[in-house]
Amino acid sequence: QGEIPLFTIREKLDQLKPGRYILLITKFAPTPLINSLKEKNLNIHYKRDPKDPTNHLTFIQLKNQAASA
């Protein structure tokens, strides 16, 4: 019902390889989650899906794992 468990996200982040990220696809803007994650040494990028604007895309990555562009 519109809930994203922060514990599950943290658990998945602990398993990420360098340069990888988690992509959350939701039908709502997860603003409270984004605000919470920004306080936890994470890179967050949020946007609407250009192919389906009803989808909200949130990319989550550990700051020390950011891939160089």
The SS3 assignment for 61 reads strand
d(CA 38, CA 49): 21
Confidence of residue 26 (pLDDT cuts 50, 70, 90): very high
Read off the pLDDT band of 36 (50, 70, 90).
confident
**What pLDDT shows up at residue 3?**
65
Specify the higher pLDDT residue, 64 or 11: 11
Mean pLDDT estimate for the chain: 85
pLDDT at 64 over 80: no
Instruction: Give the Å distances, CA to CA, from 11 to 5, 6, 15, 30.
Output: 10, 9, 7, 18
